[in-house]
Amino acid sequence: MTTGTLYIVATPIGTLGDFSPRAKEILSHVSFIACEDTRHSGNLLSHFGIKSQLESLHVHNEKNKSSYLIEKLLNSPNKCAAIITDAGTPCISDPGSLLIAEAHKHGILIQSIPGPSSMSSALAACGFIQPRSIFSGFLGRTQKEQFEEFNRWKAISPCIAVFFESPKRLINSLKNLNEFFLDQEIFICVSREISKKFEEHKTGNIKNVLNYFSNQNEIQGEFAICVNILAEEKKEISLQDAAIEALILVQQGMQLKLACKNIAQKHNLNAKDIYNESIKKP
Protein backbone atom coordinates (compact mmCIF):
# COMPACT_ATOMS: atom_id res chain seq x y z
CA MET A 1 0.00 0.00 0.00
CA THR A 2 1.43 3.35 -1.00
CA THR A 3 1.72 6.12 1.56
CA GLY A 4 2.29 9.07 -0.75
CA THR A 5 3.48 10.11 -4.18
CA LEU A 6 6.76 11.57 -5.42
CA TYR A 7 6.75 12.97 -8.96
CA ILE A 8 9.92 13.12 -11.07
CA VAL A 9 9.25 16.05 -13.37
CA ALA A 10 11.34 17.02 -16.40
CA THR A 11 11.82 20.74 -17.07
CA PRO A 12 12.92 22.59 -20.24
CA ILE A 13 16.56 22.38 -21.31
CA GLY A 14 16.21 25.40 -23.56
CA THR A 15 12.88 26.41 -25.05
CA LEU A 16 10.26 27.06 -22.35
CA GLY A 17 7.60 25.81 -24.74
CA ASP A 18 8.90 22.28 -24.12
CA PHE A 19 7.35 22.38 -20.65
CA SER A 20 4.37 20.02 -20.78
CA PRO A 21 0.87 20.92 -19.52
CA ARG A 22 0.94 17.81 -17.32
CA ALA A 23 4.20 18.90 -15.70
CA LYS A 24 2.77 22.34 -15.00
CA GLU A 25 -0.39 20.87 -13.48
CA ILE A 26 1.49 18.50 -11.19
CA LEU A 27 3.95 21.11 -9.97
CA SER A 28 1.06 23.45 -9.22
CA HIS A 29 -0.63 20.98 -6.88
CA VAL A 30 2.19 19.23 -4.95
CA SER A 31 2.98 20.21 -1.37
CA PHE A 32 6.55 21.16 -2.25
CA ILE A 33 9.17 20.81 -4.98
CA ALA A 34 12.74 19.64 -4.40
CA CYS A 35 15.15 21.41 -6.75
CA GLU A 36 18.87 22.02 -7.27
CA ASP A 37 18.84 25.81 -7.14
CA THR A 38 15.81 27.58 -5.61
CA ARG A 39 16.64 30.84 -7.40
CA HIS A 40 16.92 29.21 -10.81
CA SER A 41 13.81 27.06 -10.36
CA GLY A 42 11.98 29.98 -8.78
CA ASN A 43 12.32 31.95 -12.02
CA LEU A 44 11.00 29.01 -14.03
CA LEU A 45 8.00 28.44 -11.76
CA SER A 46 7.23 32.16 -11.64
CA HIS A 47 7.11 32.25 -15.44
CA PHE A 48 4.39 29.57 -15.40
CA GLY A 49 2.56 30.97 -12.38
CA ILE A 50 3.41 28.01 -10.13
CA LYS A 51 3.47 28.93 -6.44
CA SER A 52 4.41 25.61 -4.77
CA GLN A 53 7.06 25.80 -2.04
CA LEU A 54 10.65 25.02 -3.03
CA GLU A 55 13.16 22.91 -1.09
CA SER A 56 16.83 22.82 -2.10
CA LEU A 57 18.26 19.39 -2.95
CA HIS A 58 21.69 19.37 -4.49
CA VAL A 59 24.79 17.19 -4.60
CA HIS A 60 26.13 18.58 -1.33
CA ASN A 61 23.04 18.07 0.83
CA GLU A 62 21.12 15.21 -0.81
CA LYS A 63 22.51 12.49 1.46
CA ASN A 64 21.58 14.29 4.66
CA LYS A 65 18.35 15.92 3.48
CA SER A 66 16.55 13.03 1.77
CA SER A 67 15.10 11.59 4.98
CA TYR A 68 13.84 15.04 6.00
CA LEU A 69 12.09 15.50 2.66
CA ILE A 70 10.47 12.07 2.88
CA GLU A 71 9.09 12.89 6.31
CA LYS A 72 7.87 16.23 5.03
CA LEU A 73 6.13 14.52 2.11
CA LEU A 74 4.43 11.95 4.37
CA ASN A 75 3.23 14.65 6.76
CA SER A 76 2.03 17.05 4.07
CA PRO A 77 -1.71 17.67 3.54
CA ASN A 78 -1.94 15.86 0.19
CA LYS A 79 1.06 13.56 0.75
CA CYS A 80 2.73 14.38 -2.55
CA ALA A 81 5.83 16.22 -3.69
CA ALA A 82 7.94 16.60 -6.82
CA ILE A 83 11.58 16.74 -7.76
CA ILE A 84 12.99 18.80 -10.60
CA THR A 85 16.47 19.67 -11.78
CA ASP A 86 17.86 22.91 -13.17
CA ALA A 87 17.15 21.62 -16.69
CA GLY A 88 16.03 18.32 -18.15
CA THR A 89 15.13 15.08 -16.42
CA PRO A 90 16.14 14.68 -12.74
CA CYS A 91 18.46 11.88 -11.60
CA ILE A 92 20.37 11.71 -14.93
CA SER A 93 23.79 13.12 -14.03
CA ASP A 94 21.87 15.30 -11.57
CA PRO A 95 20.83 14.92 -7.92
CA GLY A 96 17.71 12.97 -6.99
CA SER A 97 18.54 9.27 -7.02
CA LEU A 98 19.12 9.12 -3.25
CA LEU A 99 15.75 10.75 -2.62
CA ILE A 100 14.05 8.33 -5.01
CA ALA A 101 15.70 5.34 -3.30
CA GLU A 102 14.53 6.61 0.10
CA ALA A 103 11.00 7.02 -1.26
CA HIS A 104 10.97 3.42 -2.47
CA LYS A 105 11.96 2.25 1.02
CA HIS A 106 8.92 4.00 2.48
CA GLY A 107 6.50 2.57 -0.07
CA ILE A 108 5.98 5.95 -1.70
CA LEU A 109 4.55 5.81 -5.23
CA ILE A 110 7.02 7.10 -7.84
CA GLN A 111 5.59 8.80 -10.92
CA SER A 112 8.02 9.79 -13.68
CA ILE A 113 6.68 12.59 -15.86
CA PRO A 114 8.37 12.42 -19.30
CA GLY A 115 9.92 15.50 -20.79
CA PRO A 116 13.14 17.07 -22.06
CA SER A 117 16.39 15.11 -21.78
CA SER A 118 19.60 16.07 -23.55
CA MET A 119 20.74 12.43 -23.50
CA SER A 120 17.75 11.06 -25.42
CA SER A 121 17.66 14.14 -27.66
CA ALA A 122 21.31 13.63 -28.63
CA LEU A 123 20.73 9.93 -29.32
CA ALA A 124 17.79 10.78 -31.55
CA ALA A 125 19.75 13.41 -33.49
CA CYS A 126 23.02 11.50 -34.05
CA GLY A 127 21.72 9.20 -36.81
CA PHE A 128 23.68 6.20 -35.53
CA ILE A 129 22.09 2.75 -35.36
CA GLN A 130 23.40 0.16 -32.92
CA PRO A 131 21.75 -2.61 -30.85
CA ARG A 132 22.56 -0.89 -27.54
CA SER A 133 23.73 2.35 -25.98
CA ILE A 134 25.73 3.18 -22.86
CA PHE A 135 25.48 6.43 -20.93
CA SER A 136 28.59 7.63 -19.09
CA GLY A 137 27.43 11.00 -17.75
CA PHE A 138 30.43 13.32 -17.35
CA LEU A 139 33.74 11.56 -18.03
CA GLY A 140 36.59 11.53 -15.53
CA ARG A 141 39.03 14.40 -15.76
CA THR A 142 42.26 12.46 -16.36
CA GLN A 143 43.25 10.61 -19.51
CA LYS A 144 43.62 7.41 -17.47
CA GLU A 145 40.03 7.66 -16.20
CA GLN A 146 38.71 8.37 -19.68
CA PHE A 147 40.65 5.49 -21.26
CA GLU A 148 39.21 3.14 -18.65
CA GLU A 149 35.72 4.26 -19.65
CA PHE A 150 36.52 3.90 -23.36
CA ASN A 151 37.62 0.30 -22.69
CA ARG A 152 34.20 -0.36 -21.14
CA TRP A 153 32.59 0.91 -24.33
CA LYS A 154 34.72 -1.41 -26.47
CA ALA A 155 33.82 -4.35 -24.25
CA ILE A 156 30.12 -4.05 -25.16
CA SER A 157 30.56 -2.91 -28.76
CA PRO A 158 28.83 -2.48 -31.12
CA CYS A 159 27.16 0.35 -29.24
CA ILE A 160 26.52 4.07 -29.09
CA ALA A 161 28.30 5.68 -26.14
CA VAL A 162 26.82 8.93 -24.84
CA PHE A 163 28.47 11.39 -22.48
CA PHE A 164 28.16 15.00 -21.39
CA GLU A 165 30.95 17.55 -21.53
CA SER A 166 31.59 21.15 -20.56
CA PRO A 167 32.93 23.79 -22.98
CA LYS A 168 36.28 23.97 -21.16
CA ARG A 169 36.89 20.23 -21.35
CA LEU A 170 35.43 19.42 -24.77
CA ILE A 171 38.66 19.69 -26.79
CA ASN A 172 40.67 17.63 -24.31
CA SER A 173 38.08 14.84 -24.23
CA LEU A 174 37.89 14.77 -28.04
CA LYS A 175 41.69 14.53 -28.19
CA ASN A 176 41.61 11.56 -25.81
CA LEU A 177 38.93 9.92 -27.94
CA ASN A 178 41.02 10.45 -31.05
CA GLU A 179 44.12 8.98 -29.42
CA PHE A 180 42.34 5.97 -27.94
CA PHE A 181 40.59 5.03 -31.18
CA LEU A 182 43.53 5.92 -33.40
CA ASP A 183 43.50 2.49 -35.09
CA GLN A 184 39.77 2.68 -35.91
CA GLU A 185 37.62 5.15 -37.83
CA ILE A 186 35.06 6.12 -35.22
CA PHE A 187 32.28 8.56 -36.05
CA ILE A 188 30.85 10.91 -33.44
CA CYS A 189 28.07 13.47 -33.13
CA VAL A 190 28.63 16.49 -30.89
CA SER A 191 25.28 18.02 -29.96
CA ARG A 192 25.36 21.55 -28.59
CA GLU A 193 22.70 23.75 -27.01
CA ILE A 194 19.84 21.30 -27.62
CA SER A 195 16.44 23.07 -27.75
CA LYS A 196 18.12 26.48 -27.71
CA LYS A 197 18.62 29.17 -30.36
CA PHE A 198 22.07 27.99 -31.47
CA GLU A 199 21.38 24.24 -31.45
CA GLU A 200 23.96 22.32 -33.46
CA HIS A 201 24.73 18.67 -34.20
CA LYS A 202 28.21 18.24 -35.69
CA THR A 203 28.88 14.76 -37.08
CA GLY A 204 31.92 13.16 -38.68
CA ASN A 205 34.95 11.11 -37.77
CA ILE A 206 36.70 12.08 -34.55
CA LYS A 207 39.60 13.84 -36.25
CA ASN A 208 37.39 16.08 -38.40
CA VAL A 209 35.05 17.01 -35.55
CA LEU A 210 38.06 17.73 -33.32
CA ASN A 211 39.52 20.03 -35.98
CA TYR A 212 36.17 21.79 -36.36
CA PHE A 213 35.91 22.70 -32.68
CA SER A 214 39.64 23.41 -32.33
CA ASN A 215 39.27 26.15 -34.93
CA GLN A 216 36.41 27.86 -33.07
CA ASN A 217 37.33 31.23 -31.56
CA GLU A 218 35.30 30.43 -28.47
CA ILE A 219 33.52 27.26 -27.37
CA GLN A 220 30.24 27.89 -25.57
CA GLY A 221 27.17 25.89 -24.64
CA GLU A 222 26.29 22.55 -23.14
CA PHE A 223 27.39 19.41 -24.96
CA ALA A 224 26.15 15.84 -25.35
CA ILE A 225 28.41 13.58 -27.41
CA CYS A 226 27.42 10.32 -29.12
CA VAL A 227 30.18 7.92 -30.19
CA ASN A 228 29.38 5.25 -32.77
CA ILE A 229 31.48 2.21 -31.85
CA LEU A 230 31.44 -0.68 -34.29
CA ALA A 231 32.17 -4.29 -33.36
CA GLU A 232 35.86 -5.03 -33.33
CA GLU A 233 37.04 -7.23 -36.15
CA LYS A 234 38.43 -10.46 -34.78
CA LYS A 235 41.89 -11.11 -36.21
CA GLU A 236 42.68 -14.62 -37.32
CA ILE A 237 45.43 -16.31 -35.36
CA SER A 238 47.53 -19.35 -36.24
CA LEU A 239 47.61 -22.50 -34.11
CA GLN A 240 51.25 -21.76 -33.33
CA ASP A 241 50.44 -18.32 -31.93
CA ALA A 242 47.44 -19.69 -30.05
CA ALA A 243 49.68 -22.36 -28.50
CA ILE A 244 52.13 -19.66 -27.41
CA GLU A 245 49.30 -17.75 -25.71
CA ALA A 246 48.24 -20.94 -23.93
CA LEU A 247 51.79 -21.64 -22.73
CA ILE A 248 52.01 -18.12 -21.35
CA LEU A 249 48.94 -18.87 -19.24
CA VAL A 250 50.62 -22.11 -18.09
CA GLN A 251 53.66 -20.12 -16.99
CA GLN A 252 51.28 -17.98 -14.94
CA GLY A 253 50.02 -21.07 -13.10
CA MET A 254 47.09 -22.33 -15.20
CA GLN A 255 46.77 -26.00 -16.18
CA LEU A 256 47.52 -26.64 -19.84
CA LYS A 257 44.10 -28.10 -20.74
CA LEU A 258 42.29 -25.17 -19.16
CA ALA A 259 44.65 -22.70 -20.82
CA CYS A 260 43.97 -24.26 -24.22
CA LYS A 261 40.23 -24.15 -23.58
CA ASN A 262 40.39 -20.44 -22.69
CA ILE A 263 42.45 -19.54 -25.75
CA ALA A 264 40.16 -21.63 -27.98
CA GLN A 265 37.13 -19.69 -26.76
CA LYS A 266 38.94 -16.39 -27.25
CA HIS A 267 39.84 -17.10 -30.88
CA ASN A 268 37.05 -19.53 -31.84
CA LEU A 269 39.50 -22.40 -32.36
CA ASN A 270 39.56 -26.06 -31.36
CA ALA A 271 41.02 -26.59 -27.88
CA LYS A 272 42.38 -30.04 -28.77
CA ASP A 273 44.28 -28.64 -31.76
CA ILE A 274 45.83 -25.96 -29.55
CA TYR A 275 46.75 -28.60 -26.96
CA ASN A 276 48.43 -30.82 -29.55
CA GLU A 277 50.35 -27.85 -30.90
CA SER A 278 51.41 -26.88 -27.36
CA ILE A 279 52.99 -30.26 -26.54
CA LYS A 280 55.00 -30.50 -29.73
CA LYS A 281 58.72 -30.73 -29.14
CA PRO A 282 60.69 -27.64 -30.20
Encode pLDDT of 177-216 as tens digits: 999 998 788 999 999 999 999 999 999 999 999 999 999 9
Q: Which CATH number fits domain 130-229: 3.40.50.2000, 3.30.950.10, 3.40.50.720, 1.20.1050.90?
A: 3.30.950.10
Residue 61 has a CB neighbour count (10 Å cut-off) of: 12
Mean pLDDT score of the chain, rounded to an integer? 93
Please tell me the distance from the alpha carbon of residue 79 to that of residue 138, in angstroms, as a whole number: 35
Examine the pLDDT at 54 and tell me if it is beyond 90.
Answer: yes
Please tell me the distance from the alpha carbon of residue 151 to that of residue 200, in angstroms, as a whole number: 28
Encode pLDDT of 76-134 as tens digits: 999 999 999 999 999 988 899 999 999 999 999 999 999 999 999 999 999 999 999 99
Whole-structure pTM over 0.75, yes or no? Answer: yes
Q: What residues does each domain of the chain span?
A: 5-116, 130-229, 239-278
**Range name among 54-63, 82-91, 246-255 with the lowest pLDDT average:** 246-255
User: What pLDDT, on a 0 to 100 scale, did the predictor assign at position 1?
Assistant: 56
Please tell me the distance from the alpha carbon of residue 236 to that of residue 106, in angstroms, as a whole number: 55
Q: Alpha helix (H) ranges present in 75-205?
A: 97-105, 118-126, 143-155, 170-180
Q: Which residues make beta-bridge pairs with 223?
A: 165, 192
Please return the burial class of 85, using the count of CB atoms within 10 Å of its CB with bins 0-12, 13-18 and 19+.
buried
Top-confidence residue, 35 or 237: 35
Percent of the chain surpassing pLDDT 70: 98
User: What pLDDT, on a 0 to 100 scale, did the predictor assign at position 169?
Assistant: 96
116, 12 contact by CB (below 8 A):
yes
Please tell me the distance from the alpha carbon of residue 47 to that of residue 281, in angstroms, as a whole number: 83
Residue 111, by phi and psi: left (phi above 0), alpha (psi -120 to 50) or beta? beta
Please tell me the distance from the alpha carbon of residue 199 to that of residue 18, in angstroms, as a whole number: 15
User: What pLDDT, on a 0 to 100 scale, did the predictor assign at position 183?
Assistant: 79
> What DSSP designation does 217 have?
S
What 3-state DSSP class applies to 165?
strand
- Helices then strands, counting H and E runs in the chain, come out as 11, 10
Please return the burial class of 32, using the count of CB atoms within 10 Å of its CB with bins 0-12, 13-18 and 19+.
middle
Examine the pLDDT at 281 and tell me if it is beyond 60.
Answer: no
Average the pLDDT over 146-168 and give the result.
95
Q: Which CATH number fits domain 5-116: 1.10.10.10, 3.40.50.720, 3.40.1010.10, 3.40.50.300?
A: 3.40.1010.10
Examine the pLDDT at 282 and tell me if it is beyond 60.
Answer: no
Cis previous bond, 158, omega within 30: yes
Encode pLDDT of 260-276 as tens digits: 998 888 778 899 999 99
Q: How far is CA 208 from the centre of its chain?
A: 24
Strands 200-205 and 80-83: unpaired
